[in-house]
Amino acid sequence: MKQFKLSTSLFLLGILLLFPTISAVAQGIIPKPHTVVYRDGQFKIDNETRLYSNLSRKNLKTIRYWLGEVTSAPLKKTRTRNGNQIIRLIQTGKPNEMNTVPFNRYLQGYTLDVSERGIEILSPSKAGLQYGLQTLRNLTAADGTVRYVHIEDTPRFAYRGMMLDCSRHIWTTDFIKKQIDMLVRLKMNRLHLHLTDEAGWRIETKHYPELTEKAAYRTTSNWEQWRATGMNYCTKDTPGAYGGYYTKQELRDIVRYAAERGVTVIPELEIPGHNNEVTSTYPQLSCTGERASDLCIGNEKSFEFIEGVLKEIMDIFPSEYIHLGGDEASGKNWLTCERCQKRMNDEHLQSKEQLQAYMMKRVNAFLNRHGRKMIGWDEITTGGTPDGAAVMAWRGADMGFKAAKDSKVIMSPTECYYLDYFQCNPATDERGQLGYTPLKSAYKFDPIPIDYQNKPEAKNIWGVQGNLWTERVDTEERAEYMIYPRLFAVAEAGWSSPAQDYNDFKTRALGLIARMKRDGYAPYDLQNELGDRNESTSAVVHDAIGKPVTYLSPCSPRYAGTGNGTLVDGKMGDWSFKDNGWQGFIQAGRLSIVIDLQKEMDINNVSADFLQFRGPEIFFPAEVTVAVSTDGQNFEEIDKQTFKDDSTRYFVRPYTWQGKAKGRYVKVTTRAPKQGGFIFCDEVMVNRRG
């Protein structure tokens, strides 16, 4: 047996020595192909290599662009498929199938074969041929050699996308095209452009020109400063003005560039909320006649506006689906608006959610009459999902599975696929936002986990999407830093089998990052990743572990951790307050608990870690009080500490008491600072050791 192992090891070593550069290049294949069978031997692309393809001259133009990244020089075309020094790119699909390619994952698949006969890529579609070329690019060494291999590859989902927020910060058309190129390399096929929001209107419109004159520019590029100083808009000639918009021709150029590469551009017109820029320009479209976030649903002029803008959008964007937003509308003004109340009465609507659903259904019907369909954020399910609408699930996978009972769903949960979240220790990076999503967390998300794979809902999971919101992303370098490599994980989830081996994925990601840098991209430095919070990687030992906890003030249902045992489970939280290791408290009294140690004992220390993250209004306590009791009724205070408000944006700090006390019950209470907000704690420790 030892002799067999030695022989096998020597054989494998020989293979690696024979193909050292090829093995290194193959490390960067993302997404991972489904079936890969290597064979002995290698093919070399050289000056004698010819190209055979049955594609039209127009379609072959873009294919040659990608082929040029594989070959050192343009290949001459041959009319014969026969021969040994030929790269064959053959489209096998029928012409009447091509319009359905974006919606049919099987038409996006390909077969790649490298042998002594040359290289052959077969696919029903041009898009599939492009994807096959991306795999070939990853397999080809610098000297043009490719190991003999047979690959059969089909995406897991038909929809694999990225959203770019162009409202908070506007991006050049060249930058957008650069990201489209990377989408193709990652075998992704949708680019969702968030073009309208309170931070700036970004679409040229002939019917409503004042939007680009008065609401496309703002008084400062810093989004937070702009919000803090009144959210004022200005004209482009105002000193210090920041912003702009895309002309119709620029948008058509982006659409054309993307379409040539098999990428569908989906525009978003945000309704009925997030419309400060609209009502600032046309205040008659709000309920109050003044600037407000929500459009007035009782006002027919609101529908005239929406339909007028959509006609212009549909003239630019040929995508079957148009994104209509639908998220985070407060609806507060609708409840006191006479026109909205009349609308509710006339349409027999019982709530503001149903009123919003009325608008979404009506606009969806308008799109349908023009041969289009709508996508909306998952709030569109609350009052009744419009017929045929696709749902983009951002408030968690559970929202997606709930919607998938009746609708197509694109999984885009905040905790995994929001690319504006921190990807390293938030204390070291002031520009991240809200949550902590390292590459590992994005990779481990499965859009259809095992529990759902055999349920009817599974067939309605249309795909996945990563979203880059740009409140704190104001440069192209910063945008790419936030997008990559986490978009790799989205691409892998959209194409490959469910996540299995993070170490293998990370190795491939490092290889792709190296090539991206050579190509002029600025991805996050994964090689020097700081990783998880050290305290969260190992258990703590103390006398309260597993003991009963009574909550005198309940934690928020949104931030309940793993339940009532979260604060005494011996596990510390990670950097993210959304991590199940933390509990959040917002009700009066904030954190206020009693731990039953189940027997009287000497107590020499009590400690707890608290998190501060000023963005989502999580603050370190202003006061922490500890008391002990022998009977659970009469408590003796043993410590009270007060803390001054600290303006630091993010930190995790401990509260600690040391001394001598005796008791069975330990009460820990906190007081919020004057600004209120949440208090977050991950563990309350009694007699911590080590």
Q: Is residue 479 part of a domain?
A: yes
Mean pLDDT of 267-284: 98
Residue 72 has pLDDT above 80, yes or no: no
User: Mean pLDDT, the chain, as a whole number?
Assistant: 93
Residue 660 has pLDDT above 70, yes or no: yes
Q: What's the CATH code of the domain at 561?
A: 2.60.120.260
Band of pLDDT at residue 5, cut at 50, 70 and 90: very low
Q: Is residue 319 part of a domain?
A: yes
pLDDT in tens, 534-584: 999 999 999 999 999 999 999 999 999 999 999 999 999 999 898 899 999
Band of pLDDT at residue 12, cut at 50, 70 and 90: very low
Band of pLDDT at residue 434, cut at 50, 70 and 90: confident
Tokens encoding 541: 């030992």
Residue 123: partners with Cβ closer than 8 Å, 6 or more residues away: 90, 91, 92, 93, 108, 109, 110, 111, 129, 131, 132
Tokens encoding 633: 């009724």
Number of domains in the chain: 3
Q: Which of 274, 294, 471, 683 is catalytic?
A: 274
Mean pLDDT of 350-364: 98
Q: Is residue 214 part of a domain?
A: no
Q: What's the CATH code of the domain at 137?
A: 3.30.379.10
Q: Is residue 310 part of a domain?
A: yes
Q: Is residue 231 part of a domain?
A: no
User: Has 609 been annotated as catalytic?
Assistant: no
Share of the chain above pLDDT 70, in %: 96
Mean pLDDT of 652-677: 97
Mean pLDDT of 144-171: 98
Residue 600 has pLDDT above 50, yes or no: yes
Q: Is residue 241 part of a domain?
A: yes
pLDDT in tens, 471-519: 999 999 999 999 999 999 999 999 998 978 999 999 999 999 999 999 9
Tell me, yes or no, whether 309 and 456 share the same domain: yes
Residue 1 has pLDDT above 60, yes or no: no
Lowest-confidence range among 168-182, 352-366, 498-512, 654-668? 498-512
Lowest-confidence range among 60-69, 225-234, 336-345? 60-69
Tell me, yes or no, whether 514 and 569 share the same domain: no
Domain boundary among 136, 153, 170: 153
How far is it, in rounded angstroms, from Cα 678 to Cα 276?
28
Residue 21 has pLDDT above 50, yes or no: no
pLDDT in tens, 603-654: 999 999 999 999 899 999 999 999 999 999 999 999 999 999 999 999 999 9
pLDDT of residue 669: 98
CB–CB of 235/278 below 8 Å? no
User: Has 274 been annotated as catalytic?
Assistant: yes
How far is it, in rounded angstroms, from Cα 590 to Cα 593?
10
pLDDT of residue 19: 42
pLDDT of residue 15: 40
Tell me, yes or no, whether 560 and 671 share the same domain: yes
- Per DSSP, the residues of 135-188 read HHHHH--TTSEEEEEEEEE--S-SEEEEEEE-SSS---HHHHHHHHHHHHHTT-
Tell me, yes or no, whether 512 and 632 share the same domain: no
Residue 13 has pLDDT above 90, yes or no: no
How far is it, in rounded angstroms, from Cα 484 to Cα 181?
13
User: Has 224 been annotated as catalytic?
Assistant: no
Tell me, yes or no, whether 488 and 382 share the same domain: yes
Range of the domain at 275: 159-197+236-528
How far is it, in rounded angstroms, from Cα 177 to Cα 179?
5
Domain boundary among 528, 545, 567: 528
pLDDT in tens, 77-90: 998 888 889 999 99
In angstroms, the Cα distances linking 15 to 10, 105, 110, 150 are 9, 35, 27, 17
Helix (H, G, I), strand (E, B) or coil at 194: strand
pLDDT in tens, 94-143: 989 998 999 999 999 999 999 999 999 999 999 999 999 999 999 999 89
Q: Is residue 22 part of a domain?
A: yes
Residue 587 has pLDDT above 60, yes or no: yes
Tell me, yes or no, whether 245 and 276 share the same domain: yes
CB–CB of 160/494 below 8 Å? yes
pLDDT of residue 257: 97
Share of the chain above pLDDT 90, in %: 85
Tell me, yes or no, whether 478 and 581 share the same domain: no
pLDDT of residue 27: 52
Residue 335 has pLDDT above 50, yes or no: yes
In angstroms, the Cα distances linking 465 to 25, 319, 468, 686 are 27, 17, 10, 44
Directed axis angle between helix 173-185 and helix 126-139, to 10°?
A: 80
What's the predicted TM-score (pTM) here?
0.90
pLDDT of residue 74: 85
Residue 369 has pLDDT above 70, yes or no: yes
pLDDT of residue 28: 67
Domain boundary among 474, 497, 528: 528
Q: Which of 46, 328, 347, 387 is catalytic?
A: 328
Q: What's the CATH code of the domain at 352?
A: 3.20.20.80
Q: Is residue 407 part of a domain?
A: yes
Q: Which of 113, 197, 420, 457 is catalytic?
A: 197
Tell me, yes or no, whether 246 and 336 share the same domain: yes
